[in-house]
Structure 1
Amino acid sequence: MALLGAGSSAAWQLGAFAPRPIIHAHEALGISLRSDNLGGLPDTINALFYGSGKCSGCHGEDPNDLASIPGQVFPMEPLPEGADVNVVDDWRSSIMANSTKDPFWRAKVRHEVLTNPSHGAGLEDKCTSCHAPVGHFSAHHEGAEYYSLLEALTDSLALDGVNCAVCHQQDPEGIGTRFSGEMTFVEDTIFGPYGGGKDEYPVQYQPMQQFIGFYPMYGEHMAKSESCAACHSLITNSVDLEGAYTDSTVIEQATYHEWLNSAYSEGPNAIECQGCHVPRIDEPVTIAAGYAWLQPRSPFGLHYFVGGNTHMLRMLRNNVDSLDLSATEAQFDSTIARSLDMLENQTLEVNLNLTGTAESGSMNVEVELVNLAGHKFPSGYPARRAWVELTMATNGDTVFHSGAWDPATGSIEGQLEVAWEPHHDIITTDSQVQIYELVLGDVNGDPTTLLERAYAHLKDNRMVPLGFVADHPVGDTTAVIGSALNDPNFNLDPLGEEGTGGDRVIYQIPSELIGQNVDITCQVWYQSLPPKWVAPMLELEGDSLIDGFRALYSAFIPTPERVGVGAMNVNLVSTDPVQAAPAFSAYPNPSRTGQVRITSSNAPLGAWTLLDARGREVQKGATVESTLKLQLPDAGQYLFKSSQGTIRLVRATS
């Protein structure tokens, strides 16, 4: 059931918050327990968890405008014009909320089970541990040996996805040391981020105890990356082509370990997963409705849970009714807009440089990429990939085009004919494409998209985060694999030191362009579900879940998202740029004193903003000059964004 009707508010725009729902979870001073007033969210309970509809009673939208609005005060005052940041409505259009209803996940589980039917019970049990945890762990709590996909799809609480209780009931004992969906939970206790400070307003346990019989308690782990570890580090058992176990395991994903092996897990750049995916605001927010004596809390975590899977979000948005989703199209549009903002502005830095001389007859375009994420890019599910598209044209005629893709299918041209593309340091022909990806291989060394058949990583050149080093304690689960290991420009500075979080790709300029005026354009694309990955699964017919996904996928082209762009116009008679799209430089960078000079090679910097590692504005201004001197306030990482581009700045510890 959809929460908003056709006359609902417009979708969230950049810089704004989610639209306010029309139908309320509250009635005046009372609380409605009817699920049809909760937008289809379940409000029942099983052996361990309540449904999110029960949480919505207090933590959903407040019709009296006294809760879930930034800038609230005590005693309470209504803020009818305030932005609604209630956690339930922001969460319900996330991938986490829809993890059980994700049509690709359902079809992929069937793909794995149909390939090795005798493993079905174990496969479905493992997959539901993170995609349908409310049903899975309740069943195991009551003594079940396995929990099936069918049980999940017919259980209203399992269909609640990764709901409020799954995160807030995680047992802090041993958290961050359990992986592959091996979570443990407490009973009748809800952990939150408030109440731990000596002078902090204490946790008010009476409302929750009276309403649902659970006891709210401060949990330090709620704001820590460790709470994400169990599902975002997955190791799978490997089988051969006949389905026999090989006694080997393979890393399916290790996003949490990638964060550990980065500059963001400790030190001046430290930021938790929640810092990007549950971003905090400093404005005080009253977190529960219906209790006039509650004081507002600060900081407040916006339950956005954004990532990069805009393709699935759009598929869900376009099929709200047929997939029986609780979020509205407007709410999905809000999450899509936030995801695009993250992909476009917080993912990758792109710079172009020209090397060589026309006189020597040898010139190159150097594409410098820097990963701004706190983990590998791409990360997570191994289907995800990013690639560089680079064109060189003169007089309107394209002479060189690497990384072209077909807008009718979302496929990279020429890639359907090859098993997989190796990593490149130098690209000499436009048939070569720089693709950042994880390629899984079976026991014969052939690429596979079957997770259970994965025996080894054939290639992993995904861009590593700042501070990544090979000999880290989690280096075995985050290793770079393949020819990227021999690339002197991959995660290495000019002195050969690891940890830049970047890569430089060198493109040889065709000899026929020497002496010409050339337009060079670089675009970096990200794709969460490439056609090549799903093709083997879609060859299977007669299974309702695979057939259902095929219909959705064929109607919805997996168009990639652009995460970075750079361009320059150069006169290859000399090496002087004629009209370069601004190539930023910063010196010194890193800076030990915090003093940095920003230079744009050919254009004024214009309006600019300096953001800290949490995305908070530190400074801003405007200039008609092409140079600017900045003082970075504290040790750590910053993003300098002008109307013409973005560059990362680092103030090192002195």
Structure 2
Amino acid sequence: MSWINRSGIFSYVPTTLDDFFMPGSQPLESGTFNSPNKCHSCHGGYDNNVEPAFNYQGSMMSHSMRDPLFEASLTIANQDALFSGDLCMRCHTPRGWLEGRSTPTDGSALTSADREGVQCHFCHKMVDPLSTRPEDLAYINTLAPENVPTQHGNGMYVVDADDNTRRGPYDDANANHPTLYSPFHSSSEICATCHDVSNPVFSKAPDGSYQPNATNTPAPTFDKYEMFPVERTYSEWKMSAYNTAEGIPSAVFGGTKTNVSSCIDCHMPQTSGKGCNKQFASTRNDLAIHDLTGGNTFVPLLIKAKYAGDVDVDAIDAGISRAQYMLQNAATLNLNVTTTINGYNLDVKIINETGHKLPSGYPEGRRMWINVQCYDNDDNIIYESGAYDSDTGTLDKTGTKIYEVKLGMSEAVAALANANGTGTYTAGESFHFALNNVVVKDNRIPPRGFINANFEAVQAAPIGYSYPDGAFSDITSYTVPETTNRIVVKLLYQTSSKEYIEFLRDKNVTDNKGQELYELWEAHGKSTPIVMQEAEFFTSTLDMTKKQTMDAAIKIYPNPSKNMVNVSFDLASNSRVSLELYTINGVKLYTLINNKTVNAIETIPLNVSTLTSGIYILKFKINQNIITKLLIVD
């Protein structure tokens, strides 16, 4: 048996809207919302570098309900569990949700205006749900007591019904509409609203696992840390060293600030300029640019293609450039190369320069990996780790360090989802957002200030990997060939993997959104990886050290000698050795050892009694390394 919701969406688990209920303002409790175009008439058209309109229009927040990747994911969520799309739409189209168009939860009732995403009027009507300020309590107290959130996150927003007043971070705002100072609008907590997400249908059990709640029943507690964690970007920041009064020095984030401490500092950097196009507007030195940029350089390309007539293409291109900047400054890449008997040891150190895990966010196939390429003297690739085929979009995962989080389903949840007898679901790693209740892997690099116990407390501990307290970097070691002349290392970021795109296409039995996404993916570079950092190293700088090391590993004694000579090896490992004897003038006399495997520690006797007195050259070839020694025969 399967279930069909009111939109005709094929589903396996018969959940209801009540299963996804969250406190906060409910539909039809927050008035109505103006189109961003109305806001842009005053806050745009005068300076693309600083004005709110242009920068907002290039952000993913402006297009969160136009996102083809999200739409395809939404279909799968609704298929897997009826009405689960309601939780997603709370944050991707708050206007549509609050004005009562979030059901059906496939988005079919939304208007074109709803697809403009997280809109200006929504953000500037938001109220801190934990505020005790009289001007905020005036609205909070109109909500049912049980609907007042007790923490920030999970789409539990509180949004004033006053359609005229705009809340913002300035207490001296001069505008053509009523304004209200709101410290909430310059805090990280406003970002927590949609960047600390849990699945309310799973609650934490005494053994630490996450078990399904009773169907058609809201979560027993609305504490996000008692639900299954989907995304913990805010909590990662909360437990970092950035969450301090002084913050962390930064020359690349924060705009004109020297230190960054909040989400706002990095994602709405400070600058000098005017906030609107009116002559009476003053120039501020603390104007927050409506940058709102993360690391997504791929989906904006799809939005430009699909909504060409509805979006500002120049603004989107500017947003892509800002995202590239964010990625290219999110990490530091350091190389350390040392010689070994058999080649070179390469240590790649990645330092997280952000205030959350690297990478962070919902695991929709997003990942970061290390690509190592080694070239010989003729510039041929002789070794590669993390190879990516741009023609197929395939990453060779063999031996590749990939930083990512992976979710999955428990045996019990897979069995519950298969109760209809289709056998569609299997336990383990899974892209089924609405049904996942296990964190399978999380090796992402923590931020400065990382403490294991603190991250475990907010459900953000590493899984299947370990970092010591205080770590904000990771080192990966490679052994590369001895014929390596040049080493090139890249840190790459990808918005979405081929596996996830194909999953959204192949599992869709409801509509064509998965296929549409796949075709857009194929037509626009298959989510081309972005080079975050790149470093190059030439092994020639180590030649002298390597020869000195090899020279010290070989001893000839007694020397001088007239009968027997001992050749003593003290190598790092067993090696292939050849030894040739030459006159002092360079004439080859004998091959004494011919490509023989010699133990790491071994002594080989040589009879030199047949040689006439004089000075000779012993030429060793150990693997691909050439070492010469002088031999004196009495």
The equivalent of 1:130 in structure 2 is: 91
- SS of residue in 2 equivalent to 1:351: strand
Task: Tell me, yes or no, if structure 1 residue 300 matches structure 2 residue 299.
Answer: no
The equivalent of 2:51 in structure 1 is: 86
Task: Tell me, yes or no, if structure 1 residue 235 matches structure 2 residue 223.
Answer: no
Are the structure 2 counterparts of residues 238 and 203 from structure 1 closer, same or farther at C-alpha, using a change threshold of 3 Å? Answer: closer
The equivalent of 2:180 in structure 1 is: 217
Distance between the aligned counterparts of 2:349 and 2:107, measured in 1?
49
Distance between the aligned counterparts of 2:433 and 2:230, measured in 1?
7
Given residue 183 of structure 2, which amino acid in structure 1 is its aligned partner? E
Distance between the aligned counterparts of 1:372 and 1:436, measured in 2?
15
Task: Tell me, yes or no, if structure 1 residue 570 matches structure 2 residue 558.
Answer: no
Distance between the aligned counterparts of 2:235 and 2:202, measured in 1?
24
**Equivalent pair of 1:237/1:245 in contact (CA under 8 Å):** no
**Equivalent pair of 1:313/1:336 in contact (CA under 8 Å):** yes
Are the structure 2 counterparts of residues 576 and 94 from structure 1 closer, same or farther at C-alpha, using a change threshold of 3 Å? Answer: farther
Given residue 560 of structure 1, which amino acid in structure 2 is its aligned partner? P
**Equivalent pair of 1:541/1:547 in contact (CA under 8 Å):** no
Task: Tell me, yes or no, if structure 1 residue 480 matches structure 2 residue 462.
Answer: yes
The equivalent of 1:599 in structure 2 is: none
- SS of residue in 2 equivalent to 1:562: strand
Determine which of 473, 481, 493 is the counterpart of 1:526.
Answer: 493
TM-aligned CA deviation for residue 314 of structure 1: 1.6
The equivalent of 2:77 in structure 1 is: 112
The equivalent of 1:625 in structure 2 is: none
The equivalent of 1:420 in structure 2 is: none
The equivalent of 1:507 in structure 2 is: 478
**Equivalent pair of 1:153/1:159 in contact (CA under 8 Å):** no
- SS of residue in 2 equivalent to 1:97: helix
TM-aligned CA deviation for residue 173 of structure 1: 3.4
The equivalent of 1:16 in structure 2 is: none
Distance between the aligned counterparts of 1:87 and 1:502, measured in 2?
35
**Equivalent pair of 1:128/1:148 in contact (CA under 8 Å):** no
The equivalent of 2:169 in structure 1 is: 193
Determine which of 103, 107, 122 is the counterpart of 2:68.
Answer: 103
TM-aligned CA deviation for residue 275 of structure 1: 1.3
Distance between the aligned counterparts of 1:530 and 1:399, measured in 2?
26
The equivalent of 1:545 in structure 2 is: 513
- SS of residue in 1 equivalent to 2:394: coil
TM-aligned CA deviation for residue 239 of structure 1: 7.4
Determine which of 357, 361, 374 is the counterpart of 2:355.
Answer: 374
Given residue 104 of structure 2, which amino acid in structure 1 is its aligned partner? S
Task: Tell me, yes or no, if structure 1 residue 203 matches structure 2 residue 181.
Answer: no
- SS of residue in 1 equivalent to 2:198: strand
TM-aligned CA deviation for residue 93 of structure 1: 2.0
The equivalent of 1:74 in structure 2 is: none
Distance between the aligned counterparts of 1:265 and 1:480, measured in 2?
20
Residues 292-314 of structure 1: CA deviation (Å, up to 9, x unaligned): 44433331111121111101012
Are the structure 2 counterparts of residues 473 and 554 from structure 1 closer, same or farther at C-alpha, using a change threshold of 3 Å? Answer: closer
- SS of residue in 2 equivalent to 1:471: helix
TM-aligned CA deviation for residue 254 of structure 1: 0.7
Distance between the aligned counterparts of 1:108 and 1:187, measured in 2?
31
The equivalent of 2:310 in structure 1 is: 325
The equivalent of 1:594 in structure 2 is: none
- SS of residue in 2 equivalent to 1:369: strand
Distance between the aligned counterparts of 1:61 and 1:474, measured in 2?
47
- Give me the CA root mean square deviation: 2.7
Distance between the aligned counterparts of 2:280 and 2:385, measured in 1?
62
Determine which of 130, 151, 169 is the counterpart of 1:174.
Answer: 130
Determine which of 110, 129, 151 is the counterpart of 1:154.
Answer: 110
Task: Tell me, yes or no, if structure 1 residue 274 matches structure 2 residue 264.
Answer: yes
Are the structure 2 counterparts of residues 85 and 115 from structure 1 closer, same or farther at C-alpha, using a change threshold of 3 Å? Answer: same
**Equivalent pair of 1:370/1:501 in contact (CA under 8 Å):** yes
Task: Tell me, yes or no, if structure 1 residue 252 matches structure 2 residue 222.
Answer: no
TM-aligned CA deviation for residue 187 of structure 1: 2.5
- Structure 1's unaligned 5+ residue stretches are 1-44, 63-68, 70-82, 196-201, 209-214, 416-430, 493-497, 578-654
Are the structure 2 counterparts of residues 113 and 239 from structure 1 closer, same or farther at C-alpha, using a change threshold of 3 Å? Answer: farther
TM-aligned CA deviation for residue 267 of structure 1: 4.4
**Equivalent pair of 2:80/2:435 in contact (CA under 8 Å):** no
Identity of aligned residues (%): 26
- SS of residue in 1 equivalent to 2:194: coil
Q: How do 1:336-351 residues align onto structure 2 when only pairs under 5 Å count?
A: 336-344=320-328, 346-351=329-334
Distance between the aligned counterparts of 1:454 and 1:367, measured in 2?
33
The equivalent of 1:608 in structure 2 is: none
Are the structure 2 counterparts of residues 294 and 476 from structure 1 closer, same or farther at C-alpha, using a change threshold of 3 Å? Answer: closer
TM-aligned CA deviation for residue 465 of structure 1: 0.9
**Equivalent pair of 2:129/2:152 in contact (CA under 8 Å):** no
- SS of residue in 2 equivalent to 1:178: coil
Distance between the aligned counterparts of 1:554 and 1:102, measured in 2?
16
- SS of residue in 1 equivalent to 2:184: helix
Residues 28-84 of structure 1: CA deviation (Å, up to 9, x unaligned): xxxxxxxxxxxxxxxxx982322212212321225xxxxxx5xxxxxxxxxxxxx65
The equivalent of 2:403 in structure 1 is: 436
Distance between the aligned counterparts of 2:409 and 2:78, measured in 1?
17
Distance between the aligned counterparts of 2:235 and 2:110, measured in 1?
34
Determine which of 451, 463, 475 is the counterpart of 1:469.
Answer: 451
Given residue 193 of structure 1, which amino acid in structure 2 is its aligned partner? P
Distance between the aligned counterparts of 1:550 and 1:153, measured in 2?
24
**Equivalent pair of 2:386/2:395 in contact (CA under 8 Å):** yes
Residues 543-600 of structure 1: CA deviation (Å, up to 9, x unaligned): 13233223212322111111011110114655479xxxxxxxxxxxxxxxxxxxxxxx
Distance between the aligned counterparts of 2:58 and 2:304, measured in 1?
9
Determine which of 18, 39, 42 is the counterpart of 1:58.
Answer: 42
**Equivalent pair of 2:352/2:473 in contact (CA under 8 Å):** yes
TM-aligned CA deviation for residue 434 of structure 1: 0.3
TM-aligned CA deviation for residue 530 of structure 1: 0.5
**Equivalent pair of 2:372/2:386 in contact (CA under 8 Å):** yes
TM-aligned CA deviation for residue 265 of structure 1: 0.9
- SS of residue in 1 equivalent to 2:453: coil
Normalising by the residue count of structure 1, what TM-score does the alignment of the two structures yield? Answer: 0.64
**Equivalent pair of 2:74/2:106 in contact (CA under 8 Å):** no
Are the structure 2 counterparts of residues 152 and 130 from structure 1 closer, same or farther at C-alpha, using a change threshold of 3 Å? Answer: farther
TM-aligned CA deviation for residue 150 of structure 1: 5.0
Given residue 478 of structure 2, which amino acid in structure 1 is its aligned partner? Y
Q: How do 1:501-650 residues align onto structure 2 when only pairs under 5 Å count?
A: 501-510=472-481, 513=482, 516=483, 518-539=485-506, 540=508, 543-556=511-524, 557-571=526-540, 573-575=543-545
155-164 or 525-534, which deviates more: 155-164
**Equivalent pair of 2:370/2:489 in contact (CA under 8 Å):** yes
The equivalent of 2:624 in structure 1 is: none
Given residue 391 of structure 1, which amino acid in structure 2 is its aligned partner? Q
Distance between the aligned counterparts of 1:400 and 1:115, measured in 2?
43
Are the structure 2 counterparts of residues 528 and 135 from structure 1 closer, same or farther at C-alpha, using a change threshold of 3 Å? Answer: same
Are the structure 2 counterparts of residues 563 and 113 from structure 1 closer, same or farther at C-alpha, using a change threshold of 3 Å? Answer: same
Task: Tell me, yes or no, if structure 1 residue 400 matches structure 2 residue 400.
Answer: no
Are the structure 2 counterparts of residues 522 and 467 from structure 1 closer, same or farther at C-alpha, using a change threshold of 3 Å? Answer: same
Matched length: 450
The equivalent of 2:189 in structure 1 is: 226
Task: Tell me, yes or no, if structure 1 residue 310 matches structure 2 residue 334.
Answer: no
Given residue 359 of structure 2, which amino acid in structure 1 is its aligned partner? P
